[in-house]
Every structure is written in C-alpha cells, then in structure tokens.
Structure 1
C-alpha cells in the first residue's frame, strides 16, 4: 500500500551548516499533481471552507492575544495564483488583524536603501497575520536573472535573508513560505486567457511575455534561492499550482498546521467585568 503524502514531503530541505541541499530540484515536483485533493473540485472547496472556519477562530485568537505573529510569503511565476490563493484561503477569515502586502518593483527611494529596508517595516506586528504577495525574494530572483546581481552578491543576499528571517522568528513570528509551482504549459494557457478576455486585460503586461522567455533561468534561480533560504525557522514549501483548488487547499492545510502548533488561546477573562449588566 502506497504511503499517503505528507506536507513535509513538499518542504525544501533545510540549509544547514553553511550548505544547501545538493539533492533539491524543482524537477522533483510535478506542478500538475494533486496529492492533497479530497477527490473533486467540489470536495476540495468544501474542505477549504472547513479549514477557513478554523483559521477564522485561530486568527481571532492571534489578534486577541497580541503576542505572537505569523508571516505567509507567496512567491511564484506570473499566473501561478498568488492573488487567487489569498482570495480563496482567506475568504472565511476575519480581516481584523489580517494584512496583505504586495511588493512591486522598488521605487527610487527604496533603491537608495539596502534591499531589506522596505521589507522590514512591513513585517507583522504582534497579533497580526501578514501575507507578502511577492516579497524580498524578488530582490534575489529578478536581478539574478537580468544579470545585475553577481553570484557573490546573490550569496550575500541569501545570507542576509536568513539572518533577517531569524530575527523575525526570534521575535515571535511563525514564518511559512510557499513557492506556487506552475508548469510552463499551464502558464501559457492562463496568459492566453487574459489576452482573450477583455475584462482581464488589466492583469496582463507585455513584460510577462519577456519573463516567460527566461523561464528556464527563473526556474534555476528559484531552485538556488529556495535551497539557500529554507531553514527550520523559515521553511519553503513547493506547492503544485496547476490546479487552483488543490493549490488553495494545500496552502490552507499548511496554515492550519502552523496555527495549531502555536497553541493559541483567548486572553483570560477580565474579573473586572464580572457582574456587569448592560441596560
């Protein structure tokens, strides 16, 4: 009998003792697989609603407690579904204490500082669940592919990212990083759908086609970046993303597991409110 897949089967090996895993490769993950599907799109959606209700309660506890923090990092090629994941997974979650931060190309002001300057100020505060829609990893991926970041500086930035995320973890932040792994063929279909539907033209940029021409380069840099920055305190997970419903369920399952590990509880009752009657 085949072993049932586990979430950690999709975790990138930890960077340890100054070395990344030589065994890690994105080729080992099938973007079209559905290892955590419950059988159909409808059942997957039902499972997502079930998890969403639990996440809503846990998010409320997190916000009420005002002690711990959570950071979800979403990365992936264009059309991999970062926006869609956020809409689907957090549909049932109370927005109180939930913050979404989209990262775009750095502004001149941001470029005048170190590459983590714009990111640190957006890290979650106590009681917050913050989602990075793209992230500080853009400052590894894009310049490396474009050739403006040398291999030496790439390694230096990876080091700084590990140290930065260690600081967040030491400050009470639970970090989950998801690489939404889409196939090149599925991306072609989704880009074409945006072109063919006038109502989706706003989502399409000609630069998406230029990035697509560098698909293999981006896959190679993703592999290097994930291998060099997946740690015990800030692990990376490769999420098969050709199926939107499965992608959403898998990210939700990861969040649920992380929340349960935090052992959140509501603050103790206030004795000062005992006996008070509202008239």
Structure 2
C-alpha cells in the first residue's frame, strides 16, 4: 500500500447547497495509480480473498438482523470493470441477502415514467445488500451527452437524485457510490481484446465505439454529476481502475468500512430454545 494512502483522499467533496462549482477534477486522479495495492497482483488477490470472507460474515449479520440496508452503486465507462468487480468482490458472499441489478437503456414502459420510477423497486429491503451495475446516474449522463438534457433540467435531475438518496438514507440505507476511473488508452486495449477474442464478442457492441468518440463529453458529464451528487449520506469515491486487481481491492475496502460502521450484530439468542434437545 502506498505510504499515507487513505480512502477518503478519493472521496468527491460533499455537495453544499448554494455552492458554486466544486473544486473537483477527475483529471487530478491518476487512473493508473494503485494506492491501496499490496505490491503485486498475487498479494492483492490474497488480500481480496481475506476481505471477501469478512464481507460474507458481515452480510450474514446484516441478513439475520434485518434492520439495516446497504446499497453499492458502480458506475464507469465501458470496460471499466463493473461486472468484474462484482465477481471478484462478492465471490465469497452468500447469495442469500445479496441482490445485483444491472441497469440498461430504459424500456418503452420505463421511459414513459419519471427517470427514477424504474429504480425504486430495486433498492435494498431490510437485511439486504444490493449492488447496482450502472444505475439512475445513466439518466444524468447519456441524455446530457446526446444533447437531450441540459441547463435547468439537468440541475433539477441532480436535485431529484439527492432527494431520492436522502430518502433512502433516512430509511436506514447505507449508500456507497464508486466511479471506476479508467484511462482512454486502457479502454482502447480492453475493447480491442474483446474484438480479438471470439469468445468475448458477446460482450462487444458497436455502440461502445460510438460512445468512445464522445469520451471527453462523458468525462465532463461524470465530473459534474459526481460533484453535484456527492453528499454526506451518499458519497462518491473515485476508484483508479486501470489495474483490475487494485480496483477490486479498493472497492472491497470501501464496502468493508461501510459495513463495519453499521456495527452489525446477530439477533439476541432465543430464551425459548434453552434446554431443548433434538432427538
């Protein structure tokens, strides 16, 4: 681990009502850095396995207690590793009480409602750990880049997202939002690898190439969305993601910290079970 590295160094500054533009820039964070690496991919994976066991224990307490809720949101450019992060971080976690929801382009039915209508049914219930693979943030990013959303409309959506997440937090949901920060060159290599490997063609879409042409626009859209919606109750973290092993390790560390902060315990023992012998 890099000397003096701290998770909060990668937290996007909190939004404060009335503030002007926040002093925040994605360009200031090196996507190729590995501040929380143990020093090698092998030892990073070993450390991740240790954290995965701890996450499993905490998730079991969460599910048994059925009081708290945890929501992890993963956002990032194409190939930033949302699927890979989920596979790596949760490989030891019992599926009971874990729910993963991918968000794609809205269906006609979803598009006929407000942009948060399709999201609310997937937030975690009491005792659940929910993971969003993409999320409601797509509706802040894609329409903006495509020129369909801007100005006061965009500001209103920021306000709606802050209010929505405040509602979740007030209802007992701990929210962690991770932006998987990838470089343009690393994305090029990963897209090319998908094209070159026939077994990966199912993961490739020509739309990814079109979106790549709008790289700079998406970087600006992400910067503004993160700055406008990072709050004390739902903070954003920028995760350097050029290194897959580092990306996975950092997300696991962040999630572990959130879950440890909940002080999760098993429900009290049942006095009625004392003295019972199963024969």
Give the TM interval when normalised to the shorter protein.
over 0.9
User: Can you give the 5+ residue segments of structure 2 that lack an aligned partner in the other structure?
Assistant: none
Q: Which residue of 2 aligns with 1:30?
A: 30
* CA–CA distance in structure 2, aligned partners of residues 253 and 13 of structure 1: 19
Paired residues for 1:42-121 under 5 Å: 42-121=42-121
Alpha carbons of structure 1 residues 20 and 163: separation in structure 2 relative to 1, 3 Å: farther
Check conservation: 1:20, 1:227, Cα contact below 8 A. Answer: no
* Cα deviation 1:157-180 (Å, max 9, x = unaligned): 000000000000000000000000
Paired residues for 1:1-279 under 5 Å: 4-19=4-19, 22-279=22-279
User: Can you give the 5+ residue segments of structure 1 that lack an aligned partner in the other structure?
Assistant: none
For 1:179, what is the secondary structure of its paired residue? strand
Deviation at 1:277, TM superposition (A): 1.3
Deviation at 1:19, TM superposition (A): 2.3
* CA–CA distance in structure 2, aligned partners of residues 3 and 192 of structure 1: 35
* CA–CA distance in structure 1, aligned partners of residues 3 and 201 of structure 2: 44
Deviation at 1:276, TM superposition (A): 1.2
Q: How many residues align?
A: 278
* Cα deviation 1:191-248 (Å, max 9, x = unaligned): 0000000000000000000000000000000000000000000000000000000000
* CA–CA distance in structure 2, aligned partners of residues 196 and 18 of structure 1: 50
Deviation at 1:3, TM superposition (A): 5.4
Alpha carbons of structure 1 residues 20 and 10: separation in structure 2 relative to 1, 3 Å: farther
Alpha carbons of structure 1 residues 38 and 3: separation in structure 2 relative to 1, 3 Å: closer
Check conservation: 2:13, 2:22, Cα contact below 8 A. Answer: no
Check conservation: 1:15, 1:21, Cα contact below 8 A. Answer: no
* Cα deviation 1:241-260 (Å, max 9, x = unaligned): 00000000000000111011
For 2:16, what is the secondary structure of its paired residue? coil
For 1:118, what is the secondary structure of its paired residue? coil
Q: Which runs of structure 1 show a deviation greater than 3 angstroms over 4 or more consecutive aligned residues?
A: none
* CA–CA distance in structure 2, aligned partners of residues 42 and 131 of structure 1: 26
* CA–CA distance in structure 2, aligned partners of residues 18 and 90 of structure 1: 39
* CA–CA distance in structure 2, aligned partners of residues 166 and 91 of structure 1: 30
* Cα deviation 1:43-94 (Å, max 9, x = unaligned): 1001101101110000000000000000000000000000000000000111
CA RMSD of aligned residues (A): 0.9
* CA–CA distance in structure 1, aligned partners of residues 5 and 144 of structure 2: 33
Tell me the TM-score normalised to structure 1 length. 0.98
* CA–CA distance in structure 2, aligned partners of residues 56 and 233 of structure 1: 24
For 2:194, what is the secondary structure of its paired residue? helix
Deviation at 1:23, TM superposition (A): 1.1
For 1:158, what is the secondary structure of its paired residue? helix
* CA–CA distance in structure 2, aligned partners of residues 256 and 88 of structure 1: 14
Moved more, 168-177 or 17-26: 17-26
* Cα deviation 1:94-129 (Å, max 9, x = unaligned): 111000000000011111110000001111000000
